[in-house]
Chains A and B, each alone.
Chain A
């Protein structure tokens, strides 16, 4: 829904996690609202934060499911998580080009 703010990963520095490709190393910028979760949206955001999806955290996209590339798997703080596109779209990220280190 916020695609106007993040038109294209190449031009703007930021993108939504669900738009990223496999193998990308990313840094979390912040969390966006997601209307699909309705009244639970705040709770989902909190749980994401609790699991480590906080601004500054580095993550890596490690894979996608067969059907519609859903869900996706990411690795953050050494832990792997499976996220659906709906959750991933809440996470605003920027690409990290350097190798390793935070």
Chain B
């Protein structure tokens, strides 16, 4: 440990005082992230670029003589950008991002099966006169298609090193590292920023050069593999394709809610046992209460939803890696355009089912600013995984486990209904917003990448990253909210002559009774009001907040029956309706603020969602109260 630290220090003195910075750039889907994982041993640090929320993935390259940091840039077709994420890639390369030093070397990644498009960007990069290495990735797929490339000739004619790589099995990665080892020093002297004044060469001239390069060094058969085209005949068929799409979505939701339940249940039971054990071992007192009611009930109540979250992200990763998602975008473009959205908004909206924060960030691939704005506004209406715990708790407490029409489970149908309500509301809101303004059109111009088998390893890495982000959230925000809440619900204790439950005398009790009149028209009691407050930090905390205020520590089942005996059915429905729209958690509001960069938009966003939530809960409460009595 100490030794390696010393080595690092020596190396960094050797090469200036900061590690070398290499950046990976290329078209979307050429394999940048896969190659990044190979080079860094999949130890990515995921953060954001300063000031913007494009994910910044960086890691140290393992096995190089010098310390070197590698950055995975957003995919781009050109340095003449048309969308915000391409802008980030360009600004980074040019050194125009505040607080980010310009990279010392660019690794241009090109998909060997899609050579011309990739080489075009490389030609542009080459004209910047920066150190540049070309990684010809996906060579396995290229060989399989009968494409042969004379790498040495290509390298000579282009004047840059060319390395063949296969990111999925790390072939060529050592050769790439060997090449990287030739760069030992920061680029001395040239600290002036690069500029992109005007195109120095016309697109035609660049393509002419590429054509002659390809003619000289590449032989390729004319046709794509037949199975790809056959698959597209079905998947992109106007009618069959939509059927395939809806079947896939159905399977995803079914899986998330049916397959994950047994695992979640056993985890829940585990936390119940742990709580019971602690109750037996520890002496009665404040420490025991803190551990059992504060920590285990709070954090455990949220962790049990990890299996569902993993499954949802797994499906999204699989669909994305296989190349299917863009086909879905193709199919849905026209119907979504009627709402002021487009096929490009489909992917951010789908990610929002996992969490609105990456969803809102993913809108950076949308070039039309109005469409992007609308997508951001409606993204949180897609039911995120943090709302799932709340839905699951209330549904299992109030909706009977009944089969309707032979195959459908009533609880599942209710859940589907809640998701559906979110989607329909999003459509309505988008439609209303679209009507405010006529606008000029923006192009779709979406590449439909070839289909690929998702690689287990890279899917695993992607999943691990998501799980880590979730666990970090549990360990920080959710843990601290649980502790604060427990404190508020415990102090001050009940006076000696108390006749009512202790919690009514606590801070939480007071807070709840102040809020109660405001929420009385919705049928919410003061316990429900209290749970709304920490839910603004993280929605899933509503579950543990209810556990704390109802003072149950025996897993979800016990809490469910406590709720069942204290809420009427219309109240439960109203609470569900509230959660379809609100509360927007603080992180969502913050990401909207950063992405729109406008206080007015953020205020509009927050107010309209709270307004909708109040209205929907009120209507639900009044109508279902009428129907049930």
| CB-CB under 8 A for A73 and B443, given A66-B238, A101-B222 | no
A63 in complex: contacting residue of B77, B80, B236, CB < 8 Å:
B236
What DSSP secondary structure best describes chain A's contact surface? mixed
Cβ B448 vs Cβ A73 within 8 A: yes
| CB-CB under 8 A for A67 and B334, given A54-B204, A79-B447 | yes
Cβ B238 vs Cβ A50 within 8 A: no
Number of A-B contacts (CB under 8 A): 120
Q: Which residues of B contact A50 (CB under 8 A)?
A: 77-78, 80, 120, 203
Q: Which residues of A contact B113 (CB under 8 A)?
A: 78
Shortest distance between the CB of A55 and any CB in chain B (Å): 8
| CB-CB under 8 A for A65 and B334, given A81-B448, A82-B448 | yes
Cβ B222 vs Cβ A100 within 8 A: yes
| CB-CB under 8 A for A71 and B334, given A44-B443, A65-B238 | yes
Cβ B448 vs Cβ A66 within 8 A: no
A7 to B207: give the CA distance in the assembly, Å. 31
Q: Output the nearest chain A residue to B78 by Cβ-Cβ distance.
A: A50
Cβ A62 vs Cβ B222 within 8 A: no
Shortest distance between the CB of A28 and any CB in chain B (Å): 12
Cβ B229 vs Cβ A81 within 8 A: no
Q: Which residues of B contact A49 (CB under 8 A)?
A: 203-204
B232 in complex: contacting residue of A38, A40, A55, A63, CB < 8 Å:
A63
Does B190 reach chain A (CB closer than 8 Å)? no
Q: Which residues of A contact B443 (CB under 8 A)?
A: 37, 44, 47, 83-84, 86-87
Does A33 reach chain B (CB closer than 8 Å)? no
Cβ B441 vs Cβ A82 within 8 A: no
Does B114 reach chain A (CB closer than 8 Å)? yes
B427-460, CB < 8 A from A: 440-450
A74-102, CB < 8 A from B: 75, 77-84, 86-87, 100-101
The segment from B324-332, B504-512, B525-533 found at the interface with A is B324-332
CB-CB contacts of B80-102 with A at 8 A, as 1s and 0s?
10100000000000000000000
The contact size tier of chain B is: 35 or more
Does A64 reach chain B (CB closer than 8 Å)? yes
Cβ B224 vs Cβ A71 within 8 A: no
Q: Which residues of A contact B464 (CB under 8 A)?
A: none
A62 to B204: give the CA distance in the assembly, Å. 25
A75 to B329: give the CA distance in the assembly, Å. 17
A45 to B302: give the CA distance in the assembly, Å. 50
CB-CB contacts of A21-55 with B at 8 A, as 1s and 0s?
00000000000000011111001101111111011
Cβ B440 vs Cβ A39 within 8 A: yes
| CB-CB under 8 A for A37 and B331, given A51-B77, A66-B238, A81-B447 | no
Cβ A37 vs Cβ B446 within 8 A: no
Shortest distance between the CB of A67 and any CB in chain B (Å): 4
Q: Output the nearest chain B residue to A68 by Cβ-Cβ distance.
A: B334
Contacts from B to A (Cβ < 8 Å)? 77-78, 80, 82, 113-114, 116-117, 120, 203-204, 207, 220, 222, 224, 229, 232-233, 236-239, 241-242, 326, 329-331, 333-335, 343, 440-450
